[in-house]
Amino acid sequence: TLAGDLEAALDLIRDVPDFPEPGVLFRDLTPVLSDAKALGALVYGVAAACPAADVVAGIEARGFLLAAPVAYGCGVGMVPVRKAGKLPAVAAKVSYALEYGTAELEIAVGAIQPGQRVAVIDDVLATGGTAAAACELVEQAGGVVAGVVVVLEIAALNGRAELEGYQVTALRTV
Ligand code: PRP
């Protein structure tokens, strides 16, 4: 079944202890991406969970890997939400807190048309800082957030609290 194929795909996510720092459990989607059947099931699963939208936004870098095929499959365009300093013309910029220091996300001029509904996609929802910044960025750029879809939600980090008011869907919650 489709549901069974998706569960099998999600079972391939690899937990890597102590990466990128001691005490952090890294969730690695590489084994899902490299398996043809699992990749198809994952892309289909994210697309099926996606709210109706005019465009799909993916968060650098791992969100890109999903957002582009999902957008293609849904017949809409894809917008990269980029880490700072990569874009020649920046329409909007939002800072967000990291464990140590801050980071910034940017969106390109012309990537989102005023009033467009935008589905925001990423691989993992942890503290929620990244996804919340992406939503704020979409709104600053003139878009309307249709919802957030992630593959894996780490419930203990309560990222959903950062996304109050948005529809958040996780394919799997751990
Ligand atoms: C990871 C992940 C999410 C974010 C989740 O990306 O892909 O974007 O962290 O964390 P948060 O909910 O605590 O904000 P990372 O910043 O490692 O970037 P990468 O995808 O470029 O590796």
Q: What is the pLDDT of residues 72-81, one digit of tens each?
A: 999 999 999 9
Q: Is 133 inside a domain boundary?
A: yes
Which CATH number does the domain housing residue 153 bear? Answer: 3.40.50.2020
Q: Is 27 inside a domain boundary?
A: no
Q: Is 56 inside a domain boundary?
A: yes
**CB contact at 8 A, 60 and 130:** no
Residue with tokens 């807190």: 97
Q: Is 5 inside a domain boundary?
A: no
Q: Which domain holds residue 93?
A: 51-173
Give the Å distance between the CA of 144 and the centre of ligand 1. 22
Whether 99 is catalytic = yes
Among 80, 61, 78, 68, CA closest to 42: 68
Distance from C-alpha of 105 to C-alpha of 21, rounded to nearest angstrom: 22
Distance from C-alpha of 154 to C-alpha of 159, rounded to nearest angstrom: 8
Q: Is 40 inside a domain boundary?
A: no
Report the nearest-CA residue for atom 16 of ligand 1: 130
Ligand 1 within 6 A of CB of 129: yes
Q: Is 26 inside a domain boundary?
A: no
Nearest ligand 1 atom to the CA of 83 is 21
Q: Is 7 inside a domain boundary?
A: no
Residues (pLDDT < 50) of the chain are none
Burial 135-144, CB ≥16 within 10 A → b, else e: bbbbeebbbe
Looking at residue 100, what is its pLDDT? Answer: 78
Q: Report the number of distinct structural domains present in the chain.
A: 1
Report the nearest-CA residue for atom 10 of ligand 1: 126
- Model ipTM over 0.90: yes
Q: Is 32 inside a domain boundary?
A: no
Write out pLDDT tens, residues 137-168.
999 999 999 999 999 999 999 999 999 999 99
